[in-house]
Every structure is written in C-alpha cells, then in structure tokens.
Structure 1
C-alpha cells in the first residue's frame, strides 16, 4: 500500500485531519489541519455537491452548467459526529466522512456501499500555470460499469478507458479518437445493478480514468480550478440521468418541424441549386422540413451577410421555400473577418467585444474568411450584442433556425487547432484565461444565438444546432456529432454517440447521415437513413467533395428506402414529440441504451447496438455491408416484430431478417403507438384522425402517452396542451383501454382509428364508456382489425 507520505514525495498533496466542523442549513463544512475545506451541500435527498478548497479559500462560486430551475429541497438531513467519522443522513443515502483522511464513503439506507473514495481528494501544485491540478480517485469494485461523457466515439461501456475533455475540431475523426467536439464531464457508474452519477463541474481540461491505470480505481482530475463534483444516486439509471438533467437544465419544446427530416450540404448555392434540391424532394415525395445554407451563402464568409450573386433576394427565396414547406437554416461561425468595411467587425471593435491576448492585442486567428477576431461570448454584453445581430436574418428575411459551427473554438494552421492558453475571457465577471473558458466557449455562443433567434422568432420557438457543447448546453440548443466519415465503422460510431449523448443529458442529437467526409455507397446511405430516422435530430449532411449526397444520387432502390423510412418518421411524429415532451418535462432520455432500459439484466451491460426509441420501440441498425439480417438481443419481456407482427419473447439473442428495405424494429407488447398520416412537411395536411396501433398484451397494465399542442409557440406552458394517458389491460377474451386526459388544447381531429395487433380473439362486442355500440357504427373492419371511436372516450372494452 502506498502511504500518503510517499505520495506527497511524488508531488501529490493530501488533506490532513479534520480540525473543525460547521453546518449552515444545507451546507456542511469540514476544515483540516493543513487548510483543506470540504463543503458538502445537500441539494436533494439523492443529490449532493462535494466542493474542496485548499489554503482555506474557495473560488467565487459560479457555473455556466447549473440551471436556476433545477429542483432543490430535501425532507431529511441529520449530521452526527462519532469517534472516527462524521455521518450525514438524508432520506435516500448516508455519507461517512473520515476524520483522519477526509475520505468519503456513500451508502444506501440498507448499508450497501454505492461509491467510496480510494485516495480521495488530492492535488498537485502546477508550477507551469500556478494554481492546482485537482484530483479525485474512487474505489472501483470488480464488475462496476461506466457510461456517459458525451460524444466519445468508443464502446458504450467505458470500463478500461482513459478519456479527455477538451473541445476539439476533429475532422474525419476515427473510432476511439479522443477528445472530440464536446466536453460533458458526467458519468454513470453501476455496480450490482445499482447506479449513481458524478458530474465534475470543472471547465478546465479534464481527464477520466475508468480502471485503465489501476484496475480497481476510477479517477478524474483537472488542470486547474476546484475539485467540485455533484453526486446523484439512482439506484435506477434513468433516475440518475433525470436528476443530472434537472440540475444542468432541460430544453424547451422545439417546433414540431424541427423533428422532421433536414437536408444539408457544404454548400447549396446559388439559389437555383437550392430550389432544384427542394423541388426534387417534393417530386419524389420524400418528406423534408428544412434546407441548410452552409458558409458559401455569405459574402466572403462574413457572418450576417449574403452573397448577392448567389442569393440576390434572400427574403423572397426564403418566403418561396416556406410556401413549399421548407424552413431555411443558415450557418453562423464565431470568426469575424478583420475588415474595416464590414459592419459586424466595426461594431465589435467600437465596443471592444473581441477576445484579447494576455498582453493586450486582440486574439487573431485564421478560419474560413481569412484572418479573424473572435467575440468573447463569456461576456454578457457581448451575448446581448450578438443576439441583436439576428434581427435581419430572422425577423426580416425569415430564416427559421441557426447552425453554429467551428465554435470549439476552431482555428486553422495552428498546432492546437484553437486559441492560445493566454487568451483572456470575461467569464461573466470572473476574468480568466482560455484554459478555463475553452470548453464552454461553444455553449456560450449557442446561448447567445438562442437568445437572438428566440427574441426575433417570437412568438414561435427557436431552433439552434451547435457542434461544440459543455454540460447544460441542452437548455439552448440541439447538436450533431461533427465531421464523421462515410464508412461502416462510422455508422457504428453514430449509433453509439447518439445513445451516449442521450445518457449524458443531451438527447436532441444526431449524426451527419451518410457521413460528412468521403462518399457512401448506396447501401451504406440506406442503412444510415434507417438509423438516422430513429435519432432525435435527423439530418443528411456531406462535404460535397466526393459527390452529392441527396437520396436520388444513389438510384431508385435507395430513393424507395429513404422515402419509406423518412415517411415512417413523419408517421411517428406524435410518438417522437411525446418523447421530447418527457425529455423537456422530466429529463427522460429520448434514446435508451439497453442497459438504461433494463439495468437488472446483466446481458445489457455491454450491449451497444440495440437501443429503445422512446419507451416502447426497439431499434437495431444493420451495420455491415451485404447483410440480409443480423443477430440482436431482444430485452426481457415480450415484443412484436414491427414488420411481420410476429410475437417474440425477449431475454435472449436471436437472428432477425432485414433486407435492404428493412431495419430490425420491435414494439413492446401493451404499447399504444400514435401515428399521423404521411406529410411532405409538418403542417401540410389537416390531421383528420389519429391512428393508434394497439399491441396486445396479456396481464399487467401498460401505460402509453400522447402529447399534442399547437406544434409551435408557447401556449403549451400556459396549459394549452393535450396529454393523453392510455392504460392497457389485456385478458384472454377482453382488453380494456382507459384514457385520462389533461390540458386545455383541443386537437383538430375528432376520432381515433385504432388497429389491434396480436389479438388472440375475434372481436364480437365493443363497449365505449359503459355503452355497447354496434360494430357498424364504429366502422369495424374485421380483416384489418380496426375500429374508429370518438377521441375523448374514457374507457373502451373490446370483448370476444
């Protein structure tokens, strides 16, 4: 065993004995003989904050990640002193603080260890930068698994990995390459089917080691700042994610069209080319809601300008696209071209809004426009100014969304691909170097963009997408996984990244379908579309260097596959919108890796391919060429093959057929899946009826939900929504569907068309709200097993 003295000789410093203790309401302070202070804050019975200071001093308490709207409060807090330790008891957990070492151990109320320190908190003085390198090490029992950390392109279970958080522009990144574009220092640990989470809220470059260096130790550390982390106890993994998301913030609902299909390329220009692409989508009847303009729409890549040669009248063009159902999204990067004739540059110079080097001059770097200066988005005045720049684009021209790219921040032709460490930032009145501000720069740009688009889109909802993000960015923006490659390996990576981002509180994420770099085969594109329509954000994007990547460039067979699956996404929009409402309301991940769906099944702990879309649809992409099917794991319970309606028992791996026009899809028994008719864009058709696909289940109740509102705007926050809770109960010769409805929104349709799948009996009688109705009056179709019933029934009996 290595002693503290030996470690100190290696440069690591450790807390001494506790010499004093104090409590002020929810904050409990322990001070040691060598000037370390541990402050434990009880936020909720299952959420604690651990914050360490050295030299008796905490830094000013400030975080961009923490939401002001998060739940606070607890029902129980007891602190007791014992001979060798202090104990802190809440309604959910017990914390033991060792008097000699300041080490922590956290237990559930049955006395089982959830998480405990190994070496615990220690630090090393940084003679290169001054300040401390702060470190934490935790014991890792054999069999513990780890998940999370955002967009890491590696296996879902992080056991054995060592990873770094430093937002980096990684064009054509590869499997296991690290770091990438996002910094999400939150992970989930699980041991013996009990889960907890740790969020290390430190924006410096951070590192996580999951039993890589020492097989029984997990550790995390940062190159500056404080050791400041939040602990979340489940024991259910989904509860860990929802508590973390509650702390770091939940998004507002997007407009429904943002959940449709988006088409993008670097770049669509001139206007005629844009119109050719949008017209082709309509001609081929492939639904699409958004068309993107990349950097070439600008005049010399200057943000907030238009190239008048390519787009002589952008307001007219955007209006004409909108009349055909297309919302226009434009890219905006952080680099502002150094040009005395450029109004954005002149304003920022006059107001002194650009980032500066430590010795005074503005930070200068090369990006697409050439030499640029960069706004300091950590300055609230700069964010307000930036937000106001969107008036013309949004309010006057009519653009519906903004795409923030290159905001890691990315800088060309320098070894580190970003700003020098000595660049200074305002950091909302907490001045600092770029070492501290780097990881949150992109999030603060997205925040400023969100505030501008929201201001000028009002009363409609804004749509923002960002490449770089830190924890909490989900409050402002969606994201995509960056510059991937058109390979089968990247299809696997995209699947993992979307699942991991959902587990990391950032569900509204997708990949560049088909791959950004290089050019996919038709087969790869078809398989990627099949996966992409089951990601919360759904967009094809490509560099254009190796050919076009619209569906029709791959031939008729791929067009048919694309149409089939994009149309299915549009049918499932009420299901997807309900998923998003649960995410926005309760922080529930929209995609659920199998381990999150059923952590008590040890078979799920290392599964990476399969995931649950929402709560009741199981998806497993085909990730190899020339495949006619695959082996996949069906989770415990019973499921229906979506395509064949075959009823299958879960809890085992099995072969599933899947030709090029099919992806393995299963629906949970007892589920009620809502569907709209296929539309070419959101709002194209009046919804005459809502279809409900009811999957028979024998036994216990299954609950399904449908959330609807005006599909845009903010009336839903005032109660103008319609939330339907359906509960399904199945018997051998009868099924009962009960509906409980809340909210004041009145949907435009009046009836449900219900299709029964897997019924073990022939329908002989139907009772609606205690009244037996004739089968003719409800348009009973025996062959299709469908009926049409009033939308506001409270109880429906289907009887043999």
Structure 2
C-alpha cells in the first residue's frame, strides 16, 4: 500500500546514511554515501547555518543578503557521537543529526524540542533547468504560529497559508495575492512560548507552506540553488528578530527630515504645479518635508534627464523649494531608453553594461520610455558606473533623495511581467541566469543608487526608497508597499504589511497613504493619515488618474484632521528618531505586533490590528467606515488613554470609544515621551525647551531620548546626546532620574515636564536633593514644570 505522503514525494531523492563526520573549527561536515554533504556552521550559540549539497562538493559561497560585519562567535561548541546520531551542542541549543538519513532535530538545553525535520532535506532533479528543486520539511506542533516574510498581504499569523517569493509588479494587488514586490524568505515560529527563526537564503523563486497542504508540516522549497538556511533560537521573538536583523544588516541613520511627511503623485508637473502644491502646504500650515517628481520630469522618460519645457531650470527650482523647507526627491527606473543620441544609453552600450540574453543579444523590454535595455546591477563595475550618474542630480542640481521604481524588474506587454529567465547576470563574479538573479535585481539597483546618492550628498546623509527588495536591502534603502488601492481592505492590508516588514528586518517602510489606485473618500483618507503618521515612512502617493489626493482635495474637516495628525508626527519626531536609533543600534523593530511585544500572552498570537509604535505607544487604527469606536485588545500592563489620560489595566479585550479626529492611542505607564514644537519642516525652528510627557507608574520604567545634529556623520564620532530616564513611583513620591551620554550639546536648555496621572497632590519638588520654588498656581492647574536640563534626579513629593 502506498500512502499519500509517499505518492506526493515519489521521485524525490533523500540523503542516505552518514559515512563520515569531520569538524573544521566552527563547521561540522556530514557526508552521506550518496554524495550529499551537510555543512553545519555555528555562527553564534543561538544561530546555526545548514548548507546542503547533493554533488559531493559545495559551489562558491556567496550571498547578497548577509552583512559582512554581522556579529558572530560562540561561547561553547561540543561535537559528540552517539549510537544513532551526532550531536552538536552550544551554550543555547543541542542539534542532533540522525546517522541513518541526516534528519535534524534541535532541542533546548532541557531537551525540549524546538524544531525537527519531518522529511527533512530532499530534492527533485529538474532536467529542464539543469538544476534541482531543493526542499525542506519540518514537523509543526499543534498551536504553533508563524510570522514574518516581508510584505505579504495576509493576516499577520501565517498558519494555514502558502506563500510565494518572486518579486512581481502587482498593480492594485488584492488581499492574499501572491507574489508581491519584495522577497524576504525569513519567518519566525512560536510554539509553547518559545520562538525561533528560519532564514532561507536562496534567491530563486521560493515557496513556504505553513501547514496548509499537510496539517502538521511546515515546508519551504526553491526552484534551484542550494538548500541553505539559518536557524535562530530565541526563545524570545525579540532575540530572533534582532539576531536576524544583525545577520542581514542595518541601515545608517536617515536625516531627520526623511522621517517627516512626504507628498507624491504621478505626476507633479510642470514647475508651476509643483510650486502650487508646496505653497498650499505652507498656506494651510500642514507640515511637509519632501516633494516627489515622478517620471514626467524627464525628457521622454529618459533617466537622468530633465524635460526643459516643464522644468526649464531645475537647479533654481530645487533651490527655491529648499529655501521653503522642501527636499526634492526624483524617480529613477532601471529601463534605459534605446536611443543612440542619449548619453546614458551610449555609455552603457560602449562599456557593455546591459543585461544579455543567453544567446548573446541585449535583453530588450518595453517600459515607460518604449524599448529599453537594462543595466546588470549584479556587476560591481556597472554599480560603480550607475553610482557616478547621480553627480549632476545630487551635487549640482541639489536633489536630496532618489526613488527607485519598476525594479522587480517590471517589463510591459509580456505575460510574466519581467525579464525572460534566460537573461544572464554577472552576480558579482558568479555568472547565472535571471532565475537566480531576479529576486535581487531591485536590491542591487537600490544598492548602486544608495552609493551614488551617498557619495554626492556627503557630508549629508542619503535618502533612497525602493519598491522591490530582497532580504538585507535595508542596509541601503527605505521602501514602500507598492501600488495599493484606495479601499478599506487596503487600509487593513497596509497596517499588517508594515508590521510584518518591521519584524522582517526592513523597518523603514510605509504604504501609499490614501491608496495609489482609485479615489479614497474623505473619511478613508483621514483614517489612513491617522495610521500613516505611525509608520516609519510617511507619504501620501496616488496615481493621479482619478484627480487629486492632497489633503485639501477633501473637506475642511479632513484638512483639519490631516493637520492635527501630521502635527502630532512632527511633535513625536524625537521619539521616532530614538526608535530609529534603537533599530540601527540593536536591530529592534520600530513597529512591534502585539505578539512581539508579549509572546507569553496567547491572546496576542492572532491579533492583527494593534501595534506598539516604538516601545511605549500603543496604536489601534480605525479600519471600518462610520466607526466612532472599536473593540481592541489591550496588552498586559497599565496604559493611559492619550486623549483622556484615563488609566487602563490591560490583558483584556475592550471597547474603546473614539472620534473622527482621533484613533485609539495609549501610552505605557511610566513612559516619558519627548516632543518637539510643531514645525512646518525639520529645522524650521530653534527652540529652547524639550517637552516631556511623563506618565506616572507605581514602580520603575525606563525611557530614552536620542538626538544628534539631525544630519551628517558626526554622530559616528560620539557627537550625539542620549538621555536615559528612569521613573519610579513609590507611595506619595515620584522620582525622575536622568543619566546622559554623548558629546552633542542640544540647542535647548530646559525641559518642560508635563506630569500625567499623578495620584497625589504635590507638596514639594526637589531637584538633586534641593527643594525648589515653583509657581504653584500654574502647576496645580496645568501640571507642568519648566526646569533646567542639567539635573540628575527630580523628586516630586505628595501630601
């Protein structure tokens, strides 16, 4: 009798028994008698790499995803042999490799199973492409949950889903549609309060099945390349995410203005239209830092050119916009128009920089300019050339950022929407076909763009944004979630996608506020702005074919709500900048799904809507029309309603009333939230005090505020300011302790301290053990103090 499993995998090949084990420092090699080799490498006590070959030797070890500077090194490594298995033990886990079939099981030090192979590694010979389909299946336990995988437009917990990774231009994509723009083959498993991660570093088209096909089996496979994956042990999800983010790399700090509000449309032209848009923002007092120019700024859609009819003097225009606080961002696509009079095309042709078909001719495809050739960004020489093309745009004209689009790569008028799979790539000296290079094409374009913008923006910091990306692209670029739709369903999708991107290492991400395709109602736009200001990247963007989507395209009420929430984002810039600093320093995601925030609470495992912004602000967007309230889950701990200051104890689902000009928003008890005054753009104002909203808590809580010059690289030389606050509530006393690090001296000299939730009437206030005099009338009515920033401890004593 043949079982379903045997039928399904009939024809698949498996490792046979192990005949040799050998160790070389941190790597252990297991050889099977049918030429399969497993190379197990201990990178950290909690991170092990598994690499398989079926041909008796390994190909060159090369990855675009892995950050060469990632931390590695272990405390303990012991390899032992038992009757049935070999064991590799670190100070965190035990890994057992069965002698009979090379199947792997991983245990914690108490012999509790974390993850084990079901069929384990197997493969299918693919004669059509001359390689193998490589497969891995793991046993999944009841109640196990799965998270991550980048921009997937489905529920946060992937249990029961099958997903595909193949970077694709999916205009107006729908919920659950596969595949999308980005490829991040990294997921987090959570089972019995233990988290682990799997990063399948394979750039071919890959698939993940989370118990959809078979109830207790999770599997992943690729249409070529190696079975090469990293296992990361938590047991906290925080540990898994920070380790993965360190492995694939972190960005440098963006300029502070990049965290402001951005405005974009396809397309703002001519110059008079751009000026009209920017003037309206200033007239309406809606803060904005960046204005985008889409493909119509170019001459016939030729990259690195300007349409002189629309923009007769771009340098002057960019300078005038800059004087009013607007940074100009321009789009650059990969398609280079075939035109012998066009200097960029001529130079690339002379130097042989375009991608070629297998039988020799250049790859040709239609995009916006018509017929185009496409640079091979996997060639380091091409990347260097491409970086040099930004000199005029950035150093001479003064453009402050570059937007890479259509880099999946997208091609029009062909069924698969991209390059033919026989196109050849250099792949940094590892020549291959487009089957292998497709998923990293956009990442390598963004990498080349980043190096160019960085070179010519210096001593300022670069800003780059990309639509397509592979794991590790966060080292070079921010991103957005692609061509979404003006619908309530897409507001829900945007909320999920950005949370998912943040725990997939790619934190500097947002969605097109209001939706790219179709026209949002005023209510939908207002609710989207209320969510979008809590995303790391904040930009309204629309296709323009349905009219306008600026805030003033709607009624006065929507304009007021937009202004209120964009103002709030600008007030929270020091908090957001601190979040970003923690992301680049420690790999901590800027947005945290509730399951990341508290994995011990099983109620968080299936929550989609609520998230933690930074470490101490809980946000729950309104995702349905005509809603003046909603049910939400309040995570464990104590939380203050931002709008009413009511204190709520969490760990439960509850109904929260709200208004059209509010969304449910709560501050963690004990938190200190820094605020700047509202500015129309970053750097508009100089101010003498930093506002601190201080929330009382009957115990201890820590908060930090990171600041520097807001641009440039002095922060890397120690010229930053890091304020570490500890609040302690004890009976009728409340303490605020401050510890300072760094050599940067902020412009302000005072703190304005807003005390929220004090449970007692104040009798006296002491700074560094000295009693101070203060205006009791103002304090009693408004609950704020203004004090010199040079203090170590503030002590508020109650009656």
TM-score (norm 2): 0.99
State the match for 1:756 in structure 2. Answer: 755
Report Cα offsets for 1:11-36 as digits up to 9, x if no partner: 10000000001111101100001010
In structure 2, relative to structure 1, the CA distance for the partners of 1:410 and 1:321 (3 Å cut) is same
In structure 2, relative to structure 1, the CA distance for the partners of 1:9 and 1:582 (3 Å cut) is closer
- 2:780 aligned counterpart, secondary structure: coil
State the match for 2:517 in structure 1. Answer: 517
State the match for 1:384 in structure 2. Answer: 384
Q: What is the Cα deviation at residue 784 of structure 1?
A: 1.0
Which one of 778, 784, 794 corresponds to residue 782 of structure 2? 784
State the match for 2:335 in structure 1. Answer: 335
- 1:105 aligned counterpart, secondary structure: strand
Matches within 5 A, 1:454-533: 454-533=454-533
- 2:304 aligned counterpart, secondary structure: coil
Q: What is the Cα deviation at residue 710 of structure 1?
A: 0.2
1:164 aligns with 2:177: no
Q: Distance in 2 between matches of 1:636 and 1:5?
A: 43
Asked if the contact 1:8–1:14 (Cα under 8 Å) also holds between the matched residues in 2, the reply is: no
Q: What is the Cα deviation at residue 3 of structure 1?
A: 8.8
Matches within 5 A, 1:569-588: 569-588=569-588
Asked if the contact 1:780–1:788 (Cα under 8 Å) also holds between the matched residues in 2, the reply is: no
Report Cα offsets for 1:358-390 as digits up to 9, x if no partner: 000000000000000000000000000000000
Q: Distance in 2 between matches of 1:755 and 1:478?
A: 34
In structure 2, relative to structure 1, the CA distance for the partners of 1:2 and 1:250 (3 Å cut) is farther
Aligned Cα root-mean-square deviation (Å): 1.2
Asked if the contact 1:164–1:208 (Cα under 8 Å) also holds between the matched residues in 2, the reply is: yes
The list of structure 1 runs, each at least 4 consecutive aligned residues, that deviate by more than 3 angstroms after superposition, is 1-9
Report Cα offsets for 1:305-352 as digits up to 9, x if no partner: 000000000000000000000000000000000000000000000000
State the match for 1:775 in structure 2. Answer: 774
- 1:764 aligned counterpart, secondary structure: strand
Q: Distance in 2 between matches of 1:66 and 1:277?
A: 42
Q: Distance in 2 between matches of 1:130 and 1:264?
A: 45
Q: Distance in 2 between matches of 1:337 and 1:510?
A: 30
Report which stretch shifted further, 39-48 or 651-660: 651-660
Q: What is the Cα deviation at residue 769 of structure 1?
A: 1.2
Q: Distance in 2 between matches of 1:77 and 1:7?
A: 40
Gaps of 5+ in 1: none
Q: Distance in 1 between matches of 2:239 and 2:786?
A: 38
Q: Distance in 2 between matches of 1:93 and 1:765?
A: 54
Matches within 5 A, 1:247-326: 247-326=247-326
Q: What is the Cα deviation at residue 170 of structure 1?
A: 0.3
Asked if the contact 1:765–1:775 (Cα under 8 Å) also holds between the matched residues in 2, the reply is: no
State the match for 2:446 in structure 1. Answer: 446
Q: Distance in 1 between matches of 2:779 and 2:298?
A: 56
Asked if the contact 1:779–1:787 (Cα under 8 Å) also holds between the matched residues in 2, the reply is: no
Report Cα offsets for 1:671-705 as digits up to 9, x if no partner: 00000000000000002110000001112x11100
- 2:308 aligned counterpart, secondary structure: coil
Report Cα offsets for 1:259-302 as digits up to 9, x if no partner: 00000000000000000000000000000000000000000000
In structure 2, relative to structure 1, the CA distance for the partners of 1:32 and 1:620 (3 Å cut) is same
Q: Distance in 2 between matches of 1:752 and 1:284?
A: 29
In structure 2, relative to structure 1, the CA distance for the partners of 1:731 and 1:357 (3 Å cut) is same
In structure 2, relative to structure 1, the CA distance for the partners of 1:9 and 1:320 (3 Å cut) is closer
- 2:563 aligned counterpart, secondary structure: helix
State the match for 2:543 in structure 1. Answer: 543
Q: Distance in 2 between matches of 1:5 and 1:650?
A: 45
Report Cα offsets for 1:408-450 as digits up to 9, x if no partner: 0000000000000000000000000000000000000000000
Q: Distance in 1 between matches of 2:749 and 2:763?
A: 24
Q: Distance in 1 between matches of 2:690 and 2:706?
A: 12
State the match for 1:561 in structure 2. Answer: 561
Report Cα offsets for 1:714-749 as digits up to 9, x if no partner: 111111001111111111201111111111000000
- 2:244 aligned counterpart, secondary structure: helix
- 1:58 aligned counterpart, secondary structure: coil
Q: Distance in 2 between matches of 1:256 and 1:55?
A: 51
Q: Distance in 1 between matches of 2:5 and 2:148?
A: 34
State the match for 1:720 in structure 2. Answer: 719
1:103 aligns with 2:103: yes
Q: What is the Cα deviation at residue 775 of structure 1?
A: 1.9
In structure 2, relative to structure 1, the CA distance for the partners of 1:4 and 1:132 (3 Å cut) is farther
State the match for 1:704 in structure 2. Answer: 703
Q: What is the Cα deviation at residue 796 of structure 1?
A: 1.2
State the match for 1:606 in structure 2. Answer: 606
Q: Distance in 2 between matches of 1:507 and 1:115?
A: 27
Q: Distance in 2 between matches of 1:90 and 1:654?
A: 44
Q: Distance in 2 between matches of 1:267 and 1:638?
A: 46
Asked if the contact 1:732–1:760 (Cα under 8 Å) also holds between the matched residues in 2, the reply is: no
Q: Distance in 2 between matches of 1:403 and 1:75?
A: 43
Q: Distance in 1 between matches of 2:687 and 2:595?
A: 37
State the match for 1:621 in structure 2. Answer: 621
Q: What is the Cα deviation at residue 81 of structure 1?
A: 0.7
Q: What is the Cα deviation at residue 657 of structure 1?
A: 1.3
Q: Distance in 1 between matches of 2:108 and 2:774?
A: 55
State the match for 2:229 in structure 1. Answer: 229
Q: Distance in 2 between matches of 1:792 and 1:445?
A: 47
1:424 aligns with 2:437: no
Q: Distance in 2 between matches of 1:147 and 1:6?
A: 29
Q: Distance in 2 between matches of 1:48 and 1:726?
A: 37
1:373 aligns with 2:369: no
State the match for 1:189 in structure 2. Answer: 189
Matches within 5 A, 1:72-83: 72-83=72-83
Report which stretch shifted further, 471-480 or 648-657: 648-657
Q: Distance in 1 between matches of 2:5 and 2:686?
A: 74
Q: Distance in 2 between matches of 1:670 and 1:144?
A: 33
Matches within 5 A, 1:633-782: 633-699=633-699, 701-776=700-775, 781-782=779-780
Q: Distance in 1 between matches of 2:310 and 2:347?
A: 26
Q: What is the Cα deviation at residue 4 of structure 1?
A: 13
- 2:603 aligned counterpart, secondary structure: helix
Report which stretch shifted further, 322-331 or 758-767: 758-767
- 1:656 aligned counterpart, secondary structure: strand
Report Cα offsets for 1:538-590 as digits up to 9, x if no partner: 00000001110000010110000000000000000000000000001111000
State the match for 2:151 in structure 1. Answer: 151
Matches within 5 A, 1:25-64: 25-64=25-64
- 2:38 aligned counterpart, secondary structure: strand
- 2:636 aligned counterpart, secondary structure: coil
Q: Distance in 2 between matches of 1:692 and 1:110?
A: 45
- 2:49 aligned counterpart, secondary structure: strand
Q: Distance in 2 between matches of 1:514 and 1:4?
A: 47
Report Cα offsets for 1:76-133 as digits up to 9, x if no partner: 0011011111111111111111111101111111111111100000001001101110
State the match for 1:213 in structure 2. Answer: 213
Report Cα offsets for 1:134-190 as digits up to 9, x if no partner: 000000001000000000000000000001000000000000001000000000000
Q: What is the Cα deviation at residue 9 of structure 1?
A: 7.5
Q: Distance in 1 between matches of 2:130 and 2:349?
A: 32
Q: Distance in 2 between matches of 1:652 and 1:517?
A: 37
Equivalenced residues, count:
798
Asked if the contact 1:7–1:13 (Cα under 8 Å) also holds between the matched residues in 2, the reply is: no
Q: What is the Cα deviation at residue 773 of structure 1?
A: 1.3
Q: Distance in 1 between matches of 2:2 and 2:771?
A: 78
Q: Distance in 1 between matches of 2:28 and 2:734?
A: 55
Asked if the contact 1:169–1:180 (Cα under 8 Å) also holds between the matched residues in 2, the reply is: yes
In structure 2, relative to structure 1, the CA distance for the partners of 1:4 and 1:130 (3 Å cut) is farther
Q: What is the Cα deviation at residue 781 of structure 1?
A: 2.1
Report Cα offsets for 1:166-223 as digits up to 9, x if no partner: 0000000000001000000000000011100000000000000000000100000000
Q: Distance in 2 between matches of 1:121 and 1:8?
A: 15
Q: Distance in 1 between matches of 2:318 and 2:283?
A: 19
Q: Distance in 1 between matches of 2:578 and 2:33?
A: 54
